[in-house]
Amino acid sequence: MVSPVRMMLSVRVIIWLVGAVLVLAAGIASASAEAEPEAVVIPGRRFLQPPVIDGVLSPGEWENAVEIVSFWDFKQQREAELRTRCLLAYTSEGIYAAFDCHDPEPNKILAQETRRGADLTKDDYVELSVEPTGVNVEPYSFRVSARGTQDESIPGGSISNIRWRGDWRAAVSRHNTGWAAEIFVPFRILRIPRGQKELGVQLLRNVPRLNVQYVYPNTGTTLDLLKRARWTDLQLPEVLPPPIILPYTQLDTTSGKTEWRSGLDIKWQMSGGLTSLLTLNPDFKNVAREVDSVSFSYVPRLVRETRPFFVEGDGFFPDTTLFYSGNVQAVDAALKSFGTVGRWNYGALFSRGADQWVTVGRLAYQTSMRSHTEVQFVYDDRPGVHSTALGGGAVFYPSFPDGFANVSLLYFRTSGQNMPTGEKVGLILWRQRGDGRISFGGQVYQISRGFAPTLGYAPEVGLRGYESMAIYNRRWDNRPVQLMDAGIVRNQRWKLDGGIYDDTLSGWVSVTLRNDMVYWLGASRYHRPPYHDRTVSAMVGWNVHRLYNAGDVVITLGKVAGGDSLYWRFLQGVPLTERFRLMLHYEQSHIRYHDPNTPDRNLHQFIATLNYDIDPEHSIGGRYIGRGSGFGSFHEMNTLYLTYRQQVRRGTDIFLIFGDPNASSTQTRFAVKVMTPW
């Protein structure tokens, strides 16, 4: 008997779904941006004499700024329990913001991270988010912790060099009732369209020990990035920063052989905030890949991209289904451009390396404040491979009183020399709701057997299926249990030529206590013919709000891939001193098969990472990685490498490395890379 769900996923029904979404697209496209609920308006205030960014809110310095005090606990939908005040103004040079954060227990303020660009989620911090175009979903976000550590998010992504990303200033101070911060963001960092008269603004304060974030304006029960305030009546200058040239020189000595390598990247911003980049002879060799877990997986994992040229503006380019930049291995020269023009945003990339030409493009149109359509293109031209990948879609994110939704329709098509035409179609529905409510959604999709994006990531083809999920979150103020979340996932897939592909049912529940402990329990049932997997997992974590001495133990046991499986992991941070830290990571995956023709799987992995921060701009690090069939028998990988990092606000970035993070054994290798932006 054919499953009713499988019948629902027939091609005919998918066509009806596509038609329904297109009708919805037409309805949303016909609505103007003014149909959005009335946004909070902040009047434009301009400084004649800007304040000094020293973290101290001196009398009279912020006299002409707009004062904002109505911060909200968006999860509980009430005024912020801890009083927060922001002062906002601008000059011809940029934006000035000051925060005064009241805290009745100032000794409990968390301020641990020292390195710029690191994760601040475990620290008290404030954030200024600015959206300069009026149509994009993703804003620029500038964060500073109670320690003065800075971090920023650039729409589309950017590399780590501070001058390349764009520098901004911040300073903090402590006082008897909390802490204060001052921020200055130059306009030249922002890609501001020509003639823009207003900016979208959101403000946020993070208090990790309470698991709470206070926001302005009120975003509803969820953190909806489109519910931002309108900062109006601004006289914004058209800023055209000079091109930034980032040359590098690298010396690499391995086993007595010395290799010199040099190249450069150039970035320039054109009128209207458009950005172009050129790279010549880029350095990809020194990129340390992420260390993959030894936990069992049926498919290859997608490794995060870290190479600078591809990171910059990545969000303006096609979905990883069509374009995963990790598949572009040889590059002699490449050019890319991206940005926003009115309601359009685009990304275009051309790359040449060895015998390969790569052309990549994406063009999107913002049909309303909460919807956009897009087309994608990837051409891969090399000997034996002349393939074209096309994509298109429509995305809608309507707002509701208790949250928002995301509806996405995506279509992809591949063809090429000596390869059949393949297609992938999918419909994604997600309903995000606030604290104490169930969020839910899922997707349906079909992928033909001939679908083959040569530069994309599509590990499994020739199937159709669906996935559904429900998640529940709840926070309490005055109970031992501070936070709870639970969820359930159902996933079924069938082969297009008949038969089940796999079937998943899994669920979990997690609780975080006020004593900095977290407990997690999960179970999964997975049927992938001929296997019937059954696993139970548990995790205990401690010091969850402590950046450098947090730890956890995870254990999973059951039936996997026809064998008796045991996976466990131990992770522990050890702050040897305030600046000297150790991270220990050990994991084992053991599958014992009952079939004498199938060898047992037994992998151990040990990772020890040391880091010493000389100051926020200079650090020394080292990592040992061992992987093999047992502790002390790391025959698959046994490597040690040491590093020195100098990343400065102004001047030369220097990276030294001994060893090779990508090698299976310790290498007698020394490399130095120097980058000096002009």
pLDDT tier for residue 305 given thresholds of 50, 70 and 90: low
User: Where does a domain end: 461, 482, 510?
Assistant: 461
In a domain, 272, yes or no: no
CA 646, CA 149: separation in Å to the nearest integer?
A: 16
Both 578 and 435 in a single domain? no
Predicted local confidence at residue 10, as pLDDT:
45
Q: Are 63 and 205 in contact (CB under 8 A)?
A: no
Prediction pTM value: 0.83
Tokens in use for 598?
Answer: 């199938």
CB atoms within 10 A of CB 5: 14
pLDDT above 50 (res 568): yes
pLDDT above 80 (res 117): yes
pLDDT above 60 (res 243): yes
Predicted local confidence at residue 1, as pLDDT:
38
Average pLDDT on 66-95 reads 94
Predicted local confidence at residue 283, as pLDDT:
67
Q: Are 594 and 624 in contact (CB under 8 A)?
A: no
CA of 149: how far to CAs of 57, 144, 407, 664, in Å?
Answer: 18, 5, 37, 36
Q: Are 661 and 622 in contact (CB under 8 A)?
A: no
CA 579, CA 349: separation in Å to the nearest integer?
A: 41
66-80, 219-233, 509-523: which has the minimum mean pLDDT?
A: 219-233
Both 400 and 434 in a single domain? yes
In a domain, 287, yes or no: no
CA of 599: how far to CAs of 300, 535, 566, 627, in Å?
Answer: 21, 21, 15, 18
Tokens in use for 299?
Answer: 């498919």
In a domain, 15, yes or no: yes
Q: Are 656 and 640 in contact (CB under 8 A)?
A: no
pLDDT above 50 (res 126): yes
The percent of residues in the chain predicted with pLDDT above 90, rounded, is 53
pLDDT tens-digit profile of 404-443? 999 999 999 999 988 899 999 999 999 999 889 999 999 9
Average pLDDT, the chain: 86
pLDDT tens-digit profile of 9-45? 444 444 444 444 444 444 444 433 333 456 899 999 9
State the CATH number of the domain containing residue 191.
2.60.40.1190
In a domain, 274, yes or no: no
pLDDT tens-digit profile of 514-564? 999 999 999 999 999 998 999 999 999 999 989 889 999 999 999 988 899
Average pLDDT on 343-357 reads 92
More confident residue, 294 or 465: 465
The percent of residues in the chain predicted with pLDDT above 70, rounded, is 90
Phi, psi (degrees; rounded to nearest 5) at 8: -60, -30
Predicted local confidence at residue 54, as pLDDT:
95
Tokens in use for 12?
Answer: 């005919």
Both 491 and 347 in a single domain? no
Give me the residue label for tokens 């990247």: 265
Predicted local confidence at residue 298, as pLDDT:
42
HEC assignment per residue over 441-504: EEEEEEECCCCCCCCCCCCCCCEEEEEEEEEEEEECCCCCEEEEEEEEEEEEEEECCCCEEEEE
Average pLDDT on 451-460 reads 90
Both 475 and 348 in a single domain? no
250-264, 312-326, 342-356, 614-628: which has the minimum mean pLDDT?
A: 250-264
Both 301 and 402 in a single domain? yes
Predicted local confidence at residue 57, as pLDDT:
93
pLDDT above 70 (res 300): no
Both 354 and 413 in a single domain? yes
131-135, 567-571, 610-614: which has the minimum mean pLDDT?
A: 131-135
Both 423 and 440 in a single domain? yes
pLDDT tens-digit profile of 589-598? 999 998 888 8
Q: Are 319 and 392 in contact (CB under 8 A)?
A: no
Per the structure, the complete domain to which residue 346 belongs is given by 1-30+297-461
Average pLDDT on 358-363 reads 96
Both 43 and 133 in a single domain? yes
In a domain, 148, yes or no: yes
* AA identity, residue 298: Y
pLDDT above 60 (res 444): yes
| DSSP calls for 299-331 | SPPPPPP--HHHHTTGGGS--TTT--GGG----
User: Where does a domain end: 537, 560, 583?
Assistant: 560
Predicted local confidence at residue 285, as pLDDT:
54
Both 69 and 126 in a single domain? yes
CB atoms within 10 A of CB 614: 12
In a domain, 477, yes or no: yes
Predicted local confidence at residue 3, as pLDDT:
44
Domain total in the chain = 4
In a domain, 658, yes or no: yes
CA 97, CA 99: separation in Å to the nearest integer?
A: 7
CA 439, CA 423: separation in Å to the nearest integer?
A: 30
pLDDT above 50 (res 231): yes
Both 97 and 187 in a single domain? yes
Both 46 and 177 in a single domain? yes
Predicted local confidence at residue 303, as pLDDT:
58
pLDDT tens-digit profile of 265-293? 888 888 777 889 998 887 655 544 445 44
pLDDT above 60 (res 2): no
Predicted local confidence at residue 136, as pLDDT:
64
In a domain, 275, yes or no: no
Sheet holding 84-90, edge to edge: 66-68, 84-90, 94-102, 178-186, 169-175
Both 354 and 492 in a single domain? no
Predicted local confidence at residue 615, as pLDDT:
87
Tokens in use for 507?
Answer: 């669920």
pLDDT tens-digit profile of 365-405? 999 888 999 999 999 999 888 999 999 999 998 988 889 99
Predicted local confidence at residue 143, as pLDDT:
97
Average pLDDT on 642-654 reads 84
User: Where does a domain end: 408, 442, 461?
Assistant: 461
